[in-house]
Amino acid sequence: MATLEAPAPPRTRAHEAQFRNEPSVDFSRSDSAREMRAALDRVRGQLGREYDLVIGGHRIRTADKIRSVNPARPSQIVGIHQKAGKEHVEPAMQAALTAFESWSRMPLEKRVELLFRAAELLRERKFELMAWLVYEVSKNWAEADADIAETIDFCELYAREALRLENVDALVQLPGEHDQLFYIPLGVGAVIPPWNFPCAIMAGMTLASIVCGNTVILKPSSDSPTIAGKFVEILEEAGMPEGVVNFCPGSGASFGDAIVAHPKTRYIAFTGSREVGLHINKVAADRVPGQIWIKRTILEMGGKDAIVVDADADLDSVVEGVATAAFGFQGQKCSACSRAIIDERISDKFLERLKDRVERISIGDPATNTNMGAVINESSMKSILNYIEIGKREGRLITGGERATKAGEGFFIQPTVIADIQPKSKLEQEEIFGPVLAVIKSRNFEHGLEIANDTEFGLTGAVYTGSREKIEIAKREFHVGNLYINRKCTGAIVGAHPFGGFNMSGTDSKAGGPDYLNLFTQAKSVGEKII
């Protein structure tokens, strides 16, 4: 691992250019498909390797292990990881505090160069990293590509945003004064990412932290620690000094809670469920001895996202958008469409077309590039199947409804559509996080918006309508952080769609947007009298 005095990689002309999103891979091209299969073969040969904790540059092994398995083939171990416990909290904190003293004073240009170099390495290894996602969390090729592309986008955007933030100045210069406004790092942050975007979200919260001069204790999900370990290796290769990011897979109930409660933790960046997010918020709010600040929480939690469809909508476009948003990555996105709210005048026609579209979705091992892979683990599968049984009692099963046993040994579930679901019912209100779509009838567009808003969440939503007036009503009245018009409610793009929601969906942190880095800094105003 690099020392704190390691020189930054040379700046390239590409670094000076305006931000552009990383392009998608076209897997219909034979050379791209061939490269992806080759990457899957290479990574298959590396499965089952053991990874260390990394604390202050030291590699540590523990008696307790975390075994990451392939959800499509649960007998296949993807990686064996050390399990950080309470005894590792203080060493990790001290390593991060020590590194903070130098890293926070490192010239911004060097921190920015680290992100640019990481982006270059990610591009060079894009197919290999996609393959790790296929094996560890059962993403198909396109979903894996989007995850890695978003990671590269975060590197590129946050590097540029950090440079922009450094050049902010006071709005007014008083006569006889030099007035400044600048942003300084917070300190040590706990980064606690989810398993569903195990590279992009994990990397985004980490990159935003370190480019601003903070240091990090990274506790990845126990379902996806391997891709996080690969990302930390890339940061090390890019020149990251020891202790800037400390890699600590571990249990949330022991290691995670202890880090959140530590008096020297300055902020917690979390993405995950509402229940865990509220717990973190509560623990962080409780001042402990030795704590001299109010801990900041940056929380992105769940959703119960709806697509509202007007009677005049283009049904072909609606069906494709709903099917893609509901069943992409097995519905395991906080932005996934879990409710389709359809004007009753077109609901029968919509269901007929949707049934045909959903039954053409292929299910199986995503290494072969099926549409849908497996859900993340056995516990999740059981929970989803339980919701399906509730849905069968609350409504009318249109298609799916069972475990997809023909797909293989993994945790496969049929894409499931249940109609005639009533507002306020369990299936309509609770986040399922799986391939289950509830279809609800509305009397009209305004009634559809009323149903859509009537949950405790407010993350994403979409409307399909040909009416400009109704579009303006939705923009004003549909209370979500990310609203889409005449398109699906998933697929937020860095820079174009800053991501984060209202109410119990989180603190509206707007990852990938122009104000995200402010959350990882504190502003300092200096007024100097000119002598």
Element (H, E) at 73: strand 73-82
CA distances from 326 to 15, 264, 333 (A): 37, 41, 9
- Active site members: 300, 334
pLDDT (average), residues 374-399: 98
431: which DSSP letter? -
**CA separation for the pair 36, 335 (Å, rounded):** 27
Q: What is the pLDDT of residues 30-89, one digit of tens each?
A: 999 999 999 999 999 999 999 999 999 999 999 999 999 999 999 999 999 999 999 999
Return the structure tokens found at 18: 């305006």
Pairing of strands 457-458, 296-300: unpaired
Smallest CA-to-CA distance from 435 within 138, 67, 136 is with 138
pLDDT of residue 8: 46
Count CB-CB contacts under 10 A for residue 31: 8
Given strand 73-82, what is the order of strands in its sheet? 49-51, 73-82, 65-70
Grade residue 16 by pLDDT with cuts at 50, 70 and 90.
low
pLDDT (average), residues 258-264: 98
pLDDT of residue 204: 98
Pairing of strands 58-60, 49-51: unpaired
pLDDT (average), residues 270-287: 97
Domain 28-52+84-301+509-525: what homologous superfamily? Aldehyde Dehydrogenase; Chain A, domain 1 (3.40.605.10)
Cβ within 8 Å of residue 376, ≥6 positions away? 71, 137, 138, 195, 196, 223, 332, 411
Find out whether 113 and 8 touch, Cβ atoms under 8 Å. yes
Task: Spell out the alpha helix ranges (H) of 45-85.
Answer: none
pLDDT (average), residues 128-145: 98
Q: What is the pLDDT of residues 411-422, one digit of tens each?
A: 999 999 999 999
- Across the strands, what pairs with 528? 178
Grade residue 14 by pLDDT with cuts at 50, 70 and 90.
very low
Tokens 């992105």 sit on residue = 300
- Radius of gyration from C-alpha coordinates of the chain: 23
Q: What is the pLDDT of residues 500-515, one digit of tens each?
A: 999 999 999 999 999 9
Cβ within 8 Å of residue 226, ≥6 positions away? 51, 68, 78, 79, 81, 132, 136
pLDDT of residue 297: 98
Cβ within 8 Å of residue 514, ≥6 positions away? 161, 164, 498
pLDDT (average), residues 288-297: 97
pLDDT of residue 252: 85
pLDDT of residue 15: 57
Grade residue 5 by pLDDT with cuts at 50, 70 and 90.
very low
Element (H, E) at 99: helix 89-103
* Burial 208-219, CB ≥16 within 10 A → b, else e: bbbbbbbbbbbb
Residues of the chain with CATH 3.40.605.10: 28-52+84-301+509-525
Grade residue 389 by pLDDT with cuts at 50, 70 and 90.
very high
Element (H, E) at 148: helix 141-166
Q: What is the pLDDT of residues 463-482, one digit of tens each?
A: 999 999 999 999 999 999 99
Q: What is the pLDDT of residues 296-331, one digit of tens each?
A: 999 999 999 999 999 999 999 999 999 999 999 999
CA distances from 277 to 196, 229, 432, 518 (A): 16, 23, 16, 20
Give percent above pLDDT 70 in the chain.
97
pLDDT (average), residues 523-531: 96
Grade residue 435 by pLDDT with cuts at 50, 70 and 90.
very high
Find out whether 215 and 189 touch, Cβ atoms under 8 Å. yes
Q: What is the mean pLDDT of the chain?
A: 96
Pairing of strands 396-399, 416-419: antiparallel
Strand runs (DSSP E) across 475-516, as ranges? 482-485, 502-503
Please say whether the structural domain 305-493 has been given the CATH code 3.40.309.10. yes
pLDDT of residue 169: 83
**Amino acid at position 436, single letter:** V
Find out whether 523 and 183 touch, Cβ atoms under 8 Å. yes
Residues of the chain with CATH 3.40.309.10: 305-493
Q: What is the pLDDT of residues 236-259, one digit of tens each?
A: 999 999 999 999 999 988 999 999
Q: What is the pLDDT of residues 149-168, one digit of tens each?
A: 999 999 999 999 999 999 88
Strand runs (DSSP E) across 420-507, as ranges? 436-442, 457-458, 460-464, 482-485, 502-503
* Burial 76-85, CB ≥16 within 10 A → b, else e: ebbbebbbbb
